[in-house]
Amino acid sequence: MKMIVTKFGGSSLADAAQFIKVRDIIHMDHERKYIVPSAPGKRGPGDDKITDLLYACHEAAQKGKAFRHLLERIRSRYEEISDELEIPFDLNSEFSVIEEALKNGASRDYAASRGEYLNGKMLSRFLDIPFVDAADVVLFNREGRLMEEETNTRIANCLRNLPRAIIPGFYGADVDGNIRTFSRGGSDVSGALVARAVNADVYENWTDVTGFRMADPRIVPDAQYIATITYRELRELSYMGAGVLHEDAVFPVRKAGIPTNIRNTNDPKHPGTMIRANAGQDDPAHVITGIAGHKGFCIVSIEKDMMNAELGFGRRVLQAFEEYNINFEHLPTGIDTMCVVVHQKELASHREEVIRRICELVDPDQVTVHENLALIATVGRGMVRNFGTAARLFTAISSQGISIRTIDQGSSELNIIVGVDESDFEEAVKAIYDTFVRI
């Protein structure tokens, strides 16, 4: 029988009505055995996330300020849910433990983790499925880094005897037993760890969007949803997935060959987006899978005659950036030019020093900086098999009178990255979308 690990994000559990939707989703498919909930999120624009309120509580407690009113606001959010759904749950004793702990200097991670902990307990009562405290199975080292293999063994051992369980997301404990959390949005990671440990057939990640779109809907309002994407394509489109899935949630499931299915709690019949290790025979609907991009880059271009014959030239150029802690994004090179594409923000504060250092290290003929650049990644596993994709892409952009400042195609032929002026960004994305999707 198939087995599914199901993670619900904060907006999916923000109030009683959302709890009911979650219950219906769980009941709809009995293969949904293990559930990983987030803390209640925003009920609408302007509302607070429980996690943010918990951080605020901790800050106040640390400064010796009153925090009771904040804790009361958190309590009332849980109380509304438990009252409305008649969940038998002793909030009073839970909150007096938390209040005491905060008064006694409990850590920031401990405070934040209580959102998921309480939500997990409440959901466990509501669905009548056993609760497993993540502190007992998700292990961190003293530096707060996840110990993935130990965690995998602990979760597997614990869940072996539990046909169903609710394991709260976002936190675990370190080797000394102190509560630790992942970075924000980390319940996605917890869900992926559980999926890997129980060798799930699918890791479902329920949120408030119906999967990934082929392009940012703020630029292409009717952009189609992507039915299937590979983990590699998603990495290439990382600008796009960023808001939906925590970056670290990809690795445990990808390694284990488990697909991740992005689903919408508010539209449960929609199949969402399936992220697979390998798309196999599954032919993509279009030559391209998606387009993503970002503004705020610049190109530092270094010219020198006979650069190609100078051993170590590239390394020394990159050393200049490394010395100032600047990461490079891309490295398009010609025979006598080397271009380093970097985040403008990162370069800004050290621009003159970096240029001076490049001059010292490689004695170039010329160094120029082209600012206000946007990078657009067009990604698709279908591109390899389709002749002339690059030509179509460049024609699409240039026929709009947009000039392409830089081009970078990975040898995997999975993506083509172009740089255009920021002011041309939206038009270029639309042109690519129209050419490849609206045919």
Positions that interact with ligand ASP (CB under 6 A) = 10, 38-39, 49, 51, 115, 169-170, 184-188
In angstroms, give the least distance from the CB of 111 to ligand ASP. Answer: 12
Query: Among 339, 342, 331, 352, which residue's Cα sits nearest to residue 304?
Result: 339
Kindly tell me which of 188 and 233 has the beta carbon lying closer to ligand ASP. 188
DSSP 8-state secondary structure symbol assigned to residue 85: T
Alpha carbon 164 to its chain centroid, in Å, reads 27
Kindly tell me which of 52 and 427 has the beta carbon lying closer to ligand ASP. 52
Q: Label residues 318-329 b or e (16+ Cβ within 10 Å = b).
A: bebbeeeebebb
d(CA 178, CA 144): 10
CB 1: neighbour CB atoms within 10 A? 6
Kindly tell me which of 38 and 151 has the beta carbon lying closer to ligand ASP. 38
In angstroms, give the least distance from the CB of 78 to ligand ASP. Answer: 14
Kindly tell me which of 10 and 380 has the beta carbon lying closer to ligand ASP. 10
Kindly tell me which of 142 and 184 has the beta carbon lying closer to ligand ASP. 184
In angstroms, give the least distance from the CB of 77 to ligand ASP. Answer: 13
Kindly tell me which of 108 and 392 has the beta carbon lying closer to ligand ASP. 108
Kindly tell me which of 26 and 50 has the beta carbon lying closer to ligand ASP. 50
Kindly tell me which of 207 and 415 has the beta carbon lying closer to ligand ASP. 207
User: Where is 250: in which H helix or E strand?
Assistant: helix 250-255
Query: Among 414, 430, 405, which residue's Cα sits nearest to residue 215?
Result: 430
d(CA 378, CA 289): 8
In angstroms, give the least distance from the CB of 366 to ligand ASP. Answer: 47
CA angle 88, 94, 100 (to 5 degrees): 165
In angstroms, give the least distance from the CB of 219 to ligand ASP. Answer: 27
d(CA 389, CA 289): 13
d(CA 112, CA 53): 9
In angstroms, give the least distance from the CB of 41 to ligand ASP. Answer: 7
In angstroms, give the least distance from the CB of 403 to ligand ASP. Answer: 41
What HEC string does 289-356 produce?
CEEEEEEEEEEEEEECCCHHHCCCHHHHHHHHHHHCCCCEEECCECCCEEEEEEEHHHHHCCHHHHHH
Kindly tell me which of 59 and 303 has the beta carbon lying closer to ligand ASP. 59
Q: What residues does 408 pair with on adjacent strands?
A: 417
Q: In the chain, what is the straight-line distance between the N-terminal and C-terminal CA atoms, in Å?
A: 41
d(CA 4, CA 334): 49
Select the residue whose beta carbon is closest to ligand ASP and give its number. Answer: 187
Output the six-digit token pair for 306: 């006979």
In angstroms, give the least distance from the CB of 391 to ligand ASP. Answer: 43
Q: From its phi and psi, is residue 181 left (phi > 0), alpha (psi between -120 and 50) or beta? A: beta
Pairing state of beta strands 4-8 and 202-207? parallel
In angstroms, give the least distance from the CB of 118 to ligand ASP. Answer: 11
d(CA 359, CA 304): 11
Kindly tell me which of 37 and 290 has the beta carbon lying closer to ligand ASP. 37
Unique residue bearing structure tokens 């433990």: 97
Report the residue count for the chain: 439
In angstroms, give the least distance from the CB of 37 to ligand ASP. Answer: 9
In angstroms, give the least distance from the CB of 113 to ligand ASP. Answer: 9
Kindly tell me which of 187 and 435 has the beta carbon lying closer to ligand ASP. 187
